[in-house]
Chain A
Amino acid sequence: MSGMYSDKVMEHFRNPKNMGEIKDADGVGTVGNPVCVLPETDIIANPVSTSISYLNPGDRVLSHDGKFHEISRKFKREYYGQMLMIKNRLGKTILTPDHLIHAFQVPESHTYCYNKNKRKLLDYASWWHSTDLKKKDIVMYPVPNDVKDVDFIEVELKKSEYDHKSLSIPSKIRTDKNFMRFVGYFLAEGSTRIQKCKTYTTLSFNINEEEYIKDCVNLIKILFGLDAKIEKRPKRKTSNIVVYNVHLTKFLRDLFGTKAEEKKIPEFMMFLPTKKQSELIKGLWYGDGHTDKKRLRASYSTISSQLCQQVKILLLRQGIIPSVYEEKPRISKGVNHGRAYRIFVLETPSLKKLAYILKVNFNFRDKLSCNAWIEKGFLFAPITEVKEIEYNGPVYNLEVNDSHSYTTNSLLVHNCGDIMTIYIKVEDNKIKDIKFQTMGCAAAIATSSMITELAKGKTLDEASKITRDNVADELDGLPPIKMHCSNLAADALREAIKDYRKKMKK
């Protein structure tokens, strides 16, 4: 033995056996560094934020540079064991213990410092393993920074064959402040219905919100040249603004989605200048938002998780720091309430900015402390809870081009690390041919090479019983520090066998 590796390791490293790719493999197994998140983890993506399990290569996700980058690969594997739930004001993310998170540690002595003092720790900001982070450490969350102004939106005017009476609306609509405010109203209160002879758009306000109703009717006239009807429903305490117009209804449905729980802000609006976006926030808040002058807070709720994430980003772009909560489905007073998402703006500096947008006057008292801040394109927010969770099931990771990072609803995480792929050819339930590809250190290459030797000719059952320890023993041992990170070959082989069996079933 010379240096840290045994002669056997060096032999396999120097002359790896069965290296390469089998193009028509019967089974393929890939493992990365064991760093992953749960399948239902929401990832900030463009145009639609969604669970990691629904994302695919080619989709674009938000990275640490505040821009969206393409996913080049997606990994899925089975995981048994401990995971960590890390929570902050934006939500919680559950990930494997080795996953890297963009953050910095706050020493015990600094926990009660002002932000300006914590800021000095910024130089330590780096990628930390999730296990190294504790409550009150500060995570960095990217604020998307691209600005692309769009002056007009084209409206597709298509009449159905027997429609002779629908009034036309302008074919080009300017994305001015008025339009953006209307978008806010519509996202909050609007719905569309497309049926034969019954195609209309409604915006449903509280009966007391006369000022907003007037504003909204006025906007419909200015923007689209249409007259809206107001239908009062005193029993339900609502006033509905109804516009029977096929063009407007189709236009709004195309832009914002069909159902309330799937409502979303169109991609281009997420990149408009913040001045325009502030009008959208205004309309949205007038509709679905709430301001509490006594308790000095503002909140907004929606049942669309997508819309919630988008509103969060719009607020961050304004320099307003939100707190996001998820409300579980519940039954209250005999009424079913589905899953809802609530955004709070609680701290004075943020509330002041929001109050300015909403033209609401708060009586701000003394300066209240805020433990988060926005700087250099990031939101800095402390971790509020870290919890260990036992998990048994599939986990996912992504590989992102150029930037190597992606963003969940609450954390900025690093993408997959070293990886290893095993290809197998199977005949008569035996491994007839096996090859590997690995990016890693000498130990990673040697273990890959060794497993191909061990597995060749074995039945699938025998091969899946090969353990990490078997591989290490056959190599006359591995340095302890390499046992965890570089000894993934047995896992990759099992994945390949599983992949083969799945294909057989089909």
Chain B
Amino acid sequence: MKKVYMDYAATTPVDKEVLDVMLPYFTKDFGNASSIHECGRNAFDAVEASRKKVADILHTSADEVIFTAGGTESDNLAVKGVAYNNKDKIGTKGPHIITSTIEHPAILETCKHLEKQGFKVKYLPVDKYGLIKIDEMEQSISKDTFLITIMYANNEIGTVEPVAEIGKIAKEHGAFFHTDAVQAIGKEPTDVNKLNIDLLSISSHKIYGPKGVGALYIRKGVKIQPILHGGGHEKGLRSSTYNTPGIVGLGKACELAQKRMEKDVAHLKNLRDKLINGVLKIEESYLNGHPEKRLANNAHFRFTAIEGESLNLMLDDKGVAAATGSACSSKKLEPSHVLLAIGLDPAEAHGSLRLSLGRTNTMGDVEYVFSVLPEIVNNLRKMSPLWNR
């Protein structure tokens, strides 16, 4: 049976070139990058070369990048780090942090945690496409606001937020701007200086790198407190022995992402648009997210009268790996907060399907989806008492 992987927003396979550069650091140059001997020095050099590559994709210098264990840690470090450095603001009117209702849980839960400690957080609502309302954001900034954290692109519905405008406004008001760019790296321009970004989170496994490694860009002059204390690695901001193979993999992945971006985006957009046009031919199917301002690889749909988990399992049986925002597949039984935030009601949010494309997808994959999806939707609708046709 044909296998089609269309869940690249969840994770990506490690690129062969990335794997090749990682391998020596497991066995040959396995040294601790903090050690003084040759084996350690080799590892240190590799870490620093990697840092340069990460800095390159962000158009910045290497000393502004620190390595972490992934996107979630980068988000935590950015938000908590800045907040803990502004503890003297607790008790003032606020809001101290401005974020949106459609952020990744790594941001939302961190903000909720900070609220318990006395920080005040403003959660900006979004429109029906998932775009934050810039005016409302600007109005809610006060003199106590020290951080604005808005994701570059949404992981579920793929909407790309107006980061350039947000960065400009944040700068005007003297607040730091952090963006979770985990989904955007390699698909959207990430020049932190042009975009006035002060902190930016990266994850390796979304860009054909290994899992368990990520990075945080911290602009010079932005003071943060560490959340991991220990041996004082990364200028004391993130203690922990360097994950050399992982870091080398991330560096290579960033290098490839930058090199291939133009080609990748053109390829993905082409497939995505064909996919969207084809799927929307199914009766009562709708596109979630913004029709234009969306990630090159994201197609997010909803179908009336069926349920997402069933749809996904049926697709899986046909060899298609996809994702859903349906409550029935999650542990909480609450539909996706993103789908609710864009104004879908729980019943509509149930029947959702995310197809996220990657480098290896072909037109043949898209056509394969066309050949199986309509029938599955049709079968589930035949089974559904809500489909009266």
A445/B333 in contact, CB under 8 A: no
Chain B interface size range:
20 to 34
Chain B residues within an 8 Å CB radius of A441: 307, 309-310, 326, 328-329
Could you tell me if A417 and B309 are in contact, using CB atoms closer than 8 angstroms?
no
Contacts of A445 in B (CB 8 A): 310, 383
* Contacts of A284-332 to chain B: CB distance below 8 A: none
Q: Which residues of B contact A421 (CB under 8 A)?
A: 385
Contact of A13 among B313, B329, B333, B340 (CB under 8 A): B313
Q: Which of B281-339 contact A (CB under 8 A)?
A: 305-307, 309-310, 313, 317, 326, 328-329, 331, 333
| Cβ of A109 to closest chain B Cβ, rounded Å | 9
Q: What residues of chain A lie closer than 8 Å to B124, measured between beta carbons? A: 123
User: A438 touching B383 by the CB < 8 A rule?
Assistant: yes
Given known contacts A14-B317, A123-B101, A481-B331, A414 and B384 CB-to-CB distance under 8 angstroms: no
Contact call B385/A19, Cβ cutoff below 8 A: no
Contact in complex: A126, B340 (CB < 8 Å): yes
Residue B123 lies at the interface, judged by CB distance under 8 Å to chain A? yes
Contacts of A240 in B (CB 8 A): none
- For residue B382, CB closer than 8 A to chain A, the reply is yes
Beta-carbon contact of B123 and A124 below 8 Å: yes
Asked if A123 and B125 make an inter-chain contact with CB atoms under 8 angstroms apart, the answer reads yes
- Are A437 and B346 in contact, with the CB atoms below 8 A? no
Q: Number of contacting residues on A, CB 8 A? A: 36
In the complex, what's the smallest C-beta–C-beta distance from A23 to chain B, in angstroms?
14
- Across the interface, A437 reaches (CB within 8 A) one of B328, B340, B384, namely B384
Contact A440 B310 (CB under 8 A): yes
Contact of A20 among B306, B307, B382 (CB under 8 A): B382
Residues 122-165 (chain A) with a chain B CB within 8 angstroms:
123-124, 126-127
A123 to chain B: which residues have CB within 8 Å? 101, 122-125
A13/B310 in contact, CB under 8 A: yes
| Contact between B313 and A405, CB atoms less than 8 A apart | no
Q: Give the residue name and chain of the A residue nearest to B100 (CB).
A: A123
Whose C-beta in chain B lies nearest to the C-beta of A32? B385
Q: Indicate with 1 or 0, residue by residue over A237-252, a CB within 8 angstroms of chain B CB atoms.
A: 0000000000000000
**In A415-431, which residues have CB < 8 Å from any B CB?**
415, 417-421
A100 at the interface (CB under 8 A from B): yes
- Whether a CB of chain A sits under 8 angstroms from the CB of B347 is yes
Task: State whether the Cβ of B345 lies closer than 8 Å to any Cβ in chain A.
Answer: yes
Answer whether residue A442 sits at the interface, using C-beta atoms and an 8 A cutoff.
yes
A440 surroundings in chain B (CB, below 8 A):
307, 310, 328
For chain A, residues 62 to 92, give those with C-beta under 8 angstroms from any C-beta of chain B: none
Question: Is A407 in contact with chain B by the CB < 8 A criterion?
Answer: no
Q: Tell yes or no: A404 within 8 A of B by CB.
A: yes
Q: Which of B309, B331, B347, B384 contacts A404 (CB 8 A)?
A: B347
A65 to B237 Cα, complex, angstroms: 49
Are A439 and B328 in contact (CB-based, < 8 A)? Answer: no
Contacts of A34 in B (CB 8 A): none
- Tell me whether A442 and B345 are in contact in the complex, defined as CB-CB below 8 angstroms, given that A120-B122, A123-B125, A419-B386 are known contacts: no
Interchain CB contact under 8 A, B345 and A439: no
State in angstroms the CA–CA spacing of A415 and B317 once bound together: 32
State the CA gap A332–B101 with chains docked (Å). Answer: 55
SS class, residues of chain A in contact with chain B: mixed
Q: Are A414 and B346 in contact (CB under 8 A)?
A: yes
Q: Which residues of A contact B346 (CB under 8 A)?
A: 100, 127, 414, 417
What residues on B are CB-neighbors of A417 within 8 Å? 346-347
Tell me the chain A residues, 358-380 only, with Cβ under 8 Å from chain B: none
Tell me whether A439 and B307 are in contact (CB under 8 A). yes
Complex CA distance for A417 and B334, rounded to whole angstroms: 12
A96 CB within 8 Å of chain B? no
Tell me which of B309, B329, B333 has the highest count of chain A C-beta atoms within 10 A of its own C-beta. Answer: B309
> Within the complex, which residue of A403, A405, A420, A439 is in contact with B306, where a contact is CB–CB below 8 Å?
A439
In the complex, A442 Cα to B124 Cα: how many Å?
35
Instruction: Give the distance in Å from the alpha carbon of A415 to the alpha carbon of B386 in the complex.
Output: 13
Please indicate the chain A residues that have their CB under 8 angstroms from the CB of B347 in the complex.
404, 414-415, 417
Return the chain B residue nearest A485 by Cβ. B333
A49 interface hit (Cβ, 8 Å)? no
Chain A residues numbered 430-470 whose CB sits less than 8 Å from any CB in chain B? 437-445
Check if A204 is an interface residue, CB within 8 A of chain B: no
Contact partners of B384 in chain A: CB under 8 A = 437-439
Min Cβ gap A65→B in Å is 10
Q: Which B residues touch A439, using CB under 8 A?
A: 305-307, 380, 383-387
Residue interface bits A1-29, CB-to-B below 8 A is 1, else 0: 00000000010011010011000000000
Whole-angstrom CA separation of A126 from B384 in the bound complex: 26
The reply on A277 being an interface residue by CB < 8 A is no
Cα(A421)–Cα(B382), bound, Å: 13
The answer to whether A438 and B385 touch across the interface, beta carbons within 8 angstroms, is yes
Residue among A20, A437, A442 making CB contact with B313, cutoff 8 Å:
A442
B307 & A414 in contact (Cβ 8 Å cutoff) = no
How far is B305's CA from A444's CA once the two chains are assembled, in angstroms? 14
A30 interface residue (CB < 8 Å to B): yes
A201 within 8 A of B: no
Measured between alpha carbons, how far is A481 from B382 in the docked complex, in Å?
A: 26
Given A414-B345, A441-B328, A486-B328, A30–B385 Cβ distance below 8 Å?
Answer: yes
Question: Measured between alpha carbons, how far is A404 from B335 in the docked complex, in Å?
Answer: 15
Bound Cα distance from A20 to B333, whole angstroms: 27
Do A19 and B333 have beta carbons less than 8 Å apart? no
A437, B309: Cβ atoms closer than 8 Å? no
The A-contacting residues of B in range 347-389, CB under 8 angstroms, are: 347-348, 350, 380, 382-387
Q: Which 8 residue pairs are nearest across A and B when measured between Cβ atoms?
A: A441-B328, A439-B384, A437-B385, A441-B309, A123-B123, A421-B385, A404-B345, A439-B386
A-side residues, CB < 8 A to B, are: 10, 13-14, 16, 19-20, 30, 100, 120, 123-124, 126-127, 399, 403-405, 414-415, 417-421, 437-445, 481, 485-486
- State the B residues within 8 Å of A (CB): 101, 122-125, 305-307, 309-310, 313, 317, 326, 328-329, 331, 333, 340, 345-348, 350, 380, 382-387
Instruction: List 16 interface pairs A-B (beta carbons < 8 Å), by A numbering.
Output: A13-B313, A16-B383, A30-B385, A123-B124, A124-B123, A404-B348, A405-B345, A414-B345, A414-B347, A417-B346, A437-B385, A439-B305, A439-B306, A441-B307, A444-B307, A486-B328
Given contacts A19-B383, A440-B310, A486-B328, 18 further A-B contacts (CB under 8 A): A10-B313, A13-B310, A19-B382, A123-B122, A127-B346, A403-B345, A414-B347, A420-B385, A437-B383, A437-B384, A437-B385, A438-B385, A439-B386, A440-B307, A440-B328, A442-B309, A442-B310, A485-B333
